[in-house]
Amino acid sequence: MAADVLELTENRLRSALGEPGARAAVTFVGTDRIEVLRFDDPAAGVVRYATLGMSAAAMTDPLAAVADAERGPRAELVLSVRAGFAATDQVLRPLAVLAASPQVEGLVITPGASLDTGEPLWPGAPFTAVLVAEPGGLVPDLELDAPRDPVRFYPLLPMTPTEAAWKRVHGAGALHDRWLTAATDLRDPLRRSVPLG
């Protein structure tokens, strides 16, 4: 049952990130409800936003001959930003839109993928897209009973339009290398684009 998966998923988020300080629900026509939970980490000076609802159904390739609601990858999205520098709580709806994209557009989200919101992630944000990073670090995978795939929690790395365009040409690995070389603080909600010349 999808409700069972969501309960287990929320428990995993709580065990990894603590108690959510706030939550909001967004519903889009023709999709299940997506919640976004906010977790504050004052010690690290970071606020984290995690989706809840995307993992209720497996992501399926729209070209697949038969859609299987049980088998296939499951995921939630996690965005971490430095607290207190921007109105990042306005990211709730864009995050919910991204989390609904497997249902709406038939996307199968994987590490290295770019997800574009078409608008700033929050008012005044220099980012309109995110890069999907490798799961398993911040929130461990949640194993489910067979035949279900585990739920993976994908960190999202905000990208400026320039970075997103450069990544499309050169790939996620090359962009990661540029960020690393420039010692980029990917949690800085006000950061500029990394030098890409």
Q: What is the pLDDT of residues 97-153, one digit of tens each?
A: 999 988 888 888 999 999 998 899 999 999 999 999 999 889 999 999 888 889 999
Would you state the structure tokens that stand for residue 37, as one six-digit string? Answer: 């939970």
| Residue found under tokens 């800085």 | 188
Domain layout of the chain by residue ranges: 2-181
Which amino acid, one-letter code, is at 191? R
| Largest CA-CA distance found in the chain, in angstroms, rounded | 50
Q: Are 127 and 160 in contact (CB under 8 A)?
A: yes
Q: How many CA within 13 A on the CB side of residue 191?
A: 21
Which H or E run contains 7? helix 2-17
Cα separation of 65 and 43, whole Å?
49
Q: Are 34 and 49 in contact (CB under 8 A)?
A: no
What is the per-residue pLDDT for 3?
A: 66
28 φ/ψ sector (left φ>0, alpha ψ -120 to 50, else beta): beta
pTM of this structure = 0.92
Cα separation of 177 and 190, whole Å?
20
Q: How confident is the model at residue 71 (pLDDT cuts 50, 70, 90)?
A: confident
What is the per-residue pLDDT for 1?
A: 58
**β-bridge mates for residue 147, sequence order:** none
Cα separation of 125 and 20, whole Å?
24
Q: Are 99 and 54 in contact (CB under 8 A)?
A: yes
What's the CA dihedral at 84, 131, 169, 59 to 10 degrees?
-150
Residue 63, pLDDT > 60, answer yes
Q: Are 191 and 127 in contact (CB under 8 A)?
A: no
Residue 31, pLDDT > 90, answer no
